[in-house]
Amino acid sequence: MNSHSHSLSSSLAFVCAFALILVSSSSSIYVQGLDYDYYDNTCKDFEATVAGKVREWFKKDKTIAPSLIRLHFHDCSVRGCDASILLNQPGSERTANASKTLRGFEVIDDIKRTLEKKCPGIVSCADILTAVARDATVFLKGPFWANQYGRKDGRISLAREAQQVPMGHEDMTSLIEFYQSKGLNTIDLIVLSGAHTIGRSSCAAIQDRLYTYKGSGKPDPSIDPKYLNYLRRKCKNPANYVDLDATTPDKFDHQYYTNLEKNMGLLYTDQLLYNDHRTSQLVVTLATQSELFPYMFSTSMVKLGGILGDADDDGEVRLQCSRVNAY
């Protein structure tokens, strides 16, 4: 083994060991103000009701599951996990360009209506989003994790704030700083990006990579040539959609990271995880240690759901998720 290989091996061993420590500590993550048994006495069928409804929608349309995970991420990325993404009013986050391709609002509304019949005025829309993201992951054969509840729904939702959510074109420093501003770290950035092991992207989002990267009139040179040809065939019409994981698009697995090693990251920010020295080592570890990703994903999703904003102190439990309560 040469010195470079030995150095790389040592680095990977360190990253893997650190990741295992992170995973083992996930059960101790506790967010002040939230509780695992928050609804035990007030709406004991809450989680069973959510899971049942997600199952119903998943049976009708399996593509809804990754959309529900993404909806939760967009919510927590702006003002914390307060269901502000669900407010359907002029100038709200939901009307922003960054929110144009979001789906699953009707699923949340359906669950909310059902819960209002069982335990009116008790379960927040923010908690529904958090539970739905976990159950959607499970139905994709991903990991299960225990959620804490007690979030409140916010009354403020601004389109301009939604524009801060990463859209796939950012540089690594911007991505790291965005995650840090939410109380997350670079490991969370890499692991939560692994949600792209399932789901689709609009072809419009990658047109620049395929044809005129950074205004060059040429494709992004970091894309594998065969993958580039495949994408150009799939995306002749920018209105089409393409799988984020071209290899196992319907399976929640670590293949996303293996694809990055082969220069088959769909979005610019996907491939950047492998190409940037600040993130590449953990990408390689996750690509080679298949059992690691599900546990790390669980940990990072718990942290994501623990981002609380002003609504924790000055929020409400909405009776309809798409509008604030009338007082």
- The 10s digit of each residue's pLDDT in 189-205 is 999 999 999 999 999 99
Say which residue the tokens 């150095």 belong to.
Answer: 7
Could you tell me the CA-to-CA distances from 15 to 88, 136, 191, 266 in Å, in that order? 43, 29, 13, 25
Q: According to the annotation, is 80 in a ligand binding site? A: yes
Please write the tens of the pLDDT for every residue from 60-110: 999 999 999 999 999 999 999 999 999 999 999 999 999 999 999 999 999
Q: What SS3 class is residue 225? A: helix
Sign for the pseudo-dihedral over CA of 38, 41, 43, 47: positive
| DSSP at 155 | S
Could you tell me the CA-to-CA distances from 191 to 273, 300, 302 in Å, in that order? 10, 7, 12
Q: According to the annotation, is 305 in a ligand binding site? A: no
Tokens of 94: 């939901």
At residue 59 the predicted structure's pLDDT band, cuts being 50, 70 and 90, is very high
Q: According to the annotation, is 212 in a ligand binding site? A: no
pTM: 0.90
Q: According to the annotation, is 166 in a ligand binding site? A: yes
Residue 308 identity: L
What phi-psi label fits residue 89: left (phi over 0), alpha (psi between -120 and 50 degrees) or beta?
A: beta
Q: According to the annotation, is 245 in a ligand binding site? A: yes
Interatomic CA distance for residues 96 and 160, integer angstroms? 7
Q: What SS3 class is residue 113? A: helix
38 in Cβ contact with 118 (< 8 Å): no
How many CB atoms neighbour CB 292 within 10 A? 21
Is position 74 annotated as part of the catalytic site? yes
Q: What SS3 class is residue 74? A: helix
Please write the tens of the pLDDT for every residue from 211-220: 999 899 999 9
Could you tell me the CA-to-CA distances from 19 to 132, 257, 282 in Å, in that order? 26, 15, 9
In degrees and rounded to multiples of 5, residue 55 shows phi and psi of -60, -45
What angle do the packed helices 3-24 and 292-305 form, to 10 degrees?
50
Q: Would you call 229 exposed, middle or buried from its count of C-beta atoms within 10 A (0-12, 13-18, 19+)?
A: exposed
Q: What SS3 class is residue 202? A: strand
Q: According to the annotation, is 197 in a ligand binding site? A: yes
Residue 92 identity: S
Q: According to the annotation, is 82 in a ligand binding site? A: yes
| DSSP at 241 | E
190 in Cβ contact with 276 (< 8 Å): no
- The one catalytic residue in 4, 74, 169, 254 is 74
Interatomic CA distance for residues 283 and 255, integer angstroms? 11
Domains of the chain: 8-25+170-299 (1.10.420.10), 29-165+305-314 (1.10.520.10)
Query: Dihedral, CA atoms, 319, 48, 302, 196, nearest 10 degrees?
Result: -100
In this prediction, residue 25 carries a pLDDT of: 47
Interatomic CA distance for residues 259 and 31, integer angstroms? 34
Please write the tens of the pLDDT for every residue from 141-190: 999 999 999 999 999 999 999 999 999 999 999 999 999 999 999 999 99
In this prediction, residue 28 carries a pLDDT of: 55
Q: According to the annotation, is 253 in a ligand binding site? A: yes
